[in-house]
């Protein structure tokens, strides 16, 4: 919900979107609510966005005099380690306006927060990133399939950890544009193939498949998604709230559960496909 709303705010004309959660000391431990702060150039733009969002989200606007707000949201984006392998390798994500000198064993990815949300800040993304690092030995030289690729951050992380190629699909054409932009930004254009090809029309069978979507989608697509995982292959499912874990797990009976790490209110299922 947070990812989709953030992306929608950009579609409505936001010039920047800040997610305030436990990382910005604005997420209450009791409710688990996340606040999105979007900057619009005019009051009319903000009012139109509120109307489009609907009353259920409780959106409101505050008018700020001056232009300090234009870059204020950037203060919450700093270089950070999103994944670390058992042998000490790490993937660091940084925004374009921040510099970071890579230390030995670090691979630095430059990502622009914004369109088709996905900078690695959200728990669901961080869970998959670390799971990829935990299974880094399975990435060497393989093609990783990223279903619902969004900004392409997970595909880029997989490539940074040793995958030779990544294929990403998403129903949103803007996500594909952003994935390609991020690939170009990190000199990985020739290693990523991103498209809006429907999953059922995709013939790829991969030893590593990731899907950071939502439980309500992961459950009905289980049979089709499972078809794209090679025997003994790894399937990483995220976008799952902790109470939804068992329902999602039950939808994938042909897989063994390897791990189910949690972060905040979210969990990930690391599954191994049984041999046919």
For residue 49 the two structure tokens come to 């966005």
Q: What is the pLDDT of residue 70?
A: 56
Residue 240, CA distances (Å) to 34, 81, 104, 228 in order: 16, 22, 34, 20
Q: Is 195 helix (H, G, I), strand (E, B) or coil?
A: strand
Q: What is the pLDDT of residue 77?
A: 73
Residue 185 CB burial class (10 angstroms; 0-12, 13-18, ≥19): middle
Residues of the chain with CATH 3.40.50.150: 78-273
For residue 125 the two structure tokens come to 């993304």
pLDDT in tens, the chain (276 residues): 666 777 778 778 887 777 765 443 333 344 456 788 887 778 888 888 888 888 778 888 777 655 555 566 666 678 889 999 999 999 999 888 888 888 899 999 998 765 434 455 688 999 999 999 999 999 999 999 999 998 899 999 999 999 999 999 999 898 899 899 999 999 999 999 999 999 999 999 999 999 999 999 999 999 999 999 999 999 999 999 999 999 999 999 999 999 999 999 999 999 999 987
Nearest residue to 133 (alpha-carbon basis) of 261, 2, 264, 275: 261
Buried b (16+ CB within 10 A) or exposed e, 211-240: bbbbbeebbebbeebbebbbeebbbbbbbb
Q: Which CATH number fits domain 78-273: 3.40.720.10, 3.40.50.720, 3.40.630.10, 3.40.50.150?
A: 3.40.50.150
Nearest residue to 235 (alpha-carbon basis) of 246, 247, 224, 220: 224
Q: What is the pLDDT of residue 265?
A: 93
Whether the predicted model's global pTM rises above the 0.95 cut: no
């Amino acid at each position: 919900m947070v990812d989709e709303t953030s992306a929608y705010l950009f579609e409505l004309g936001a010039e920047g979107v800040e997610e305030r959660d436990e990382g910005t000391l604005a997420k209450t431990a009791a409710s688990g609510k996340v606040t999105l702060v979007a900057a619009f150039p005019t009051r009319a733009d903000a009012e139109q966005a509120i109307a489009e969002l609907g009353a259920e989200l409780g959106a409101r606007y505050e008018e700020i005099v001056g232009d300090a707000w234009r870059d204020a949201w950037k203060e919450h984006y700093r270089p950070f380690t999103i994944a670390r392998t058992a042998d000490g390798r790490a993937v660091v994500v940084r925004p374009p306006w921040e510099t970071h000198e890579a230390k030995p064993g670090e691979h630095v990815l430059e990502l622009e927060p914004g369109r088709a949300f996905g900078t690695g800040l959200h728990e669901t993304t961080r869970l998959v990133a670390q799971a990829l690092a935990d299974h880094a030995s399975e990435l060497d030289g393989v093609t990783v399939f990223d279903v619902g690729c969004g900004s392409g951050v997970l595909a880029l992380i997989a490539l940074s950890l040793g995958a030779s190629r990544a294929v990403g699909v998403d129903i949103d054409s803007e996500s594909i544009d952003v994935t390609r932009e991020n690939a170009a930004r990190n000199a990985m254009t020739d290693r990523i193939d991103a498209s809006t090809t429907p999953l059922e029309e995709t013939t790829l069978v991969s030893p590593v498949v990731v899907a950071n979507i939502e439980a309500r989608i992961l459950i009905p697509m289980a049979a089709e998604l499972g078809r794209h995982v090679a025997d003994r292959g790894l399937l990483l499912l995220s976008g799952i709230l902790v109470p939804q874990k068992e329902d999602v797990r039950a939808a994938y009976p042909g897989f063994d559960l390897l791990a189910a790490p949690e972060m905040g209110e979210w969990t990930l299922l690391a599954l191994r496909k049984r041999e046919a």
